[in-house]
Structure 1
């Protein structure tokens, strides 16, 4: 696509898909305009970079639809100095947006090939304050009370309370819980007294994280 076509497609993504669906946080909208989404997809999918579709990125994984990415970023209310944990680096696009909005981003990706590809893209764009880790964040040894923001980019068939322990006081976590066709996007917050609050935001469908705990299905 020509540069002018890319910019028009980017503008239309924000103006027609995202802003009309109650995403009004100007910092989020600016980050989606500034981070070149087309650089995070393979050449064969360049024309779909701004479309309202999930885009394959390899290893059986997909890039979220732009509106879901925007709603997640808005819900998290990322501040400039926030420590951020991303579970599922994927293409690296959300990683770049989080780095633009917040402080240091620690991003885990279980697939080495995806982590390497994301690293190459982020390095080429000179993205700062990002630490990429190849590994399973759900089973990593992470210090409690560490992160002000946790972005879980794949769904969890069952909710994991262990992730709550990673939230610092005042922290926020976005996670999609459930199994298709009934999944719920949730905002989990921890107040200054350590109390956990959960808010159901909207219904959606997102592929599950690799190695996510599976629910028990009883048969009789």
Structure 2
């Protein structure tokens, strides 16, 4: 399989056709070899237009969605970014092609090791993989100019919102119970966090971020 041709076709047919016009985001999508950031058995479907299951209830986010989240984040080359739920590292790799530094938090030891190995293989040396609780973010390096969740959440934890810098942006696909998922942009201005909804996106939940079960009496 010619991955380079498949990658170019992904950009032309999935990314550009879905309102992604930022040249830095498009260049990152053209560069990063998605197949290297997947389990070996999934590499043949690396460029399909869907979320790819990678084990342990996790998914590699649909390329169009991560591209639109990145574009909405307006990442600058001086930004420090935090990725929640790095998985095998594809989203973190994309963001690293635009931001100055990326901190990628991952709770699964095998996935974090695989992501680190892939980053080394392609010489992406501005990504730091940290093993830890996804819901806690990584306050040690906070605040961040950009925070992106690599999977849907029922709500954004207050502790992670606290890690957004002044003028910073947080992007997450929020799927409240029984509702359609929506990409939401949170911004901190004058110390206050506000948010607005951007587009519909029904990607799978990050494990641990599903809606709490409600009891019916």
TM-score (norm 2): 0.92
CA distance 1:144–1:132, shift in 2 (3 Å):
closer
| Paired residue secondary structure (1:182) | coil
2:70 pairs, out of 60, 64, 73, with: 73
Deviations 1:85-144 (A, max 9, x none): 110111111111111110111111011111011111111111111111111131356159
Question: Is the aligned partner of 1:164 residue 2:161?
Answer: yes
Q: Which residue of 2 aligns with 1:215?
A: 212
Q: Corresponding residue for 1:113?
A: 110
SS of the aligned residue for 2:146 comes to strand
CA RMSD of aligned residues (A): 1.9
Gap regions ≥5 residues in structure 2: none
Q: Label 1:46 to 1:137 Cα distance change in 2 as closer, same or farther (>3 A).
A: closer
Deviates more, 1:143-152 or 1:96-105: 143-152
Once the two structures are overlaid, the 10-residue window that deviates more, 58-67 or 19-28, is 58-67
Alignment of 1:1-220 (within 5 A): 1=1, 5-139=2-136, 142=139, 146-178=143-175, 179=177, 182-191=180-189, 193-212=190-209, 214-215=211-212, 217-220=214-217
Q: How far did 1:152 drift?
A: 0.7
* Ranges in structure 1 where 5+ consecutive residues have no aligned partner: none
Checking the alignment, whether the CA contact within 8 Å between 1:69 and 1:94 is kept in structure 2 is: yes
Q: Residues 77 and 217 (structure 1 numbering): CA distance in 2 closer, same or farther, change over 3 Å?
A: same
What TM-score, normalized to structure 1?
Answer: 0.91
Matches of 1:144 and 1:119 in 2, distance apart?
Answer: 19
Which range moved further: 25-34 or 96-105?
96-105
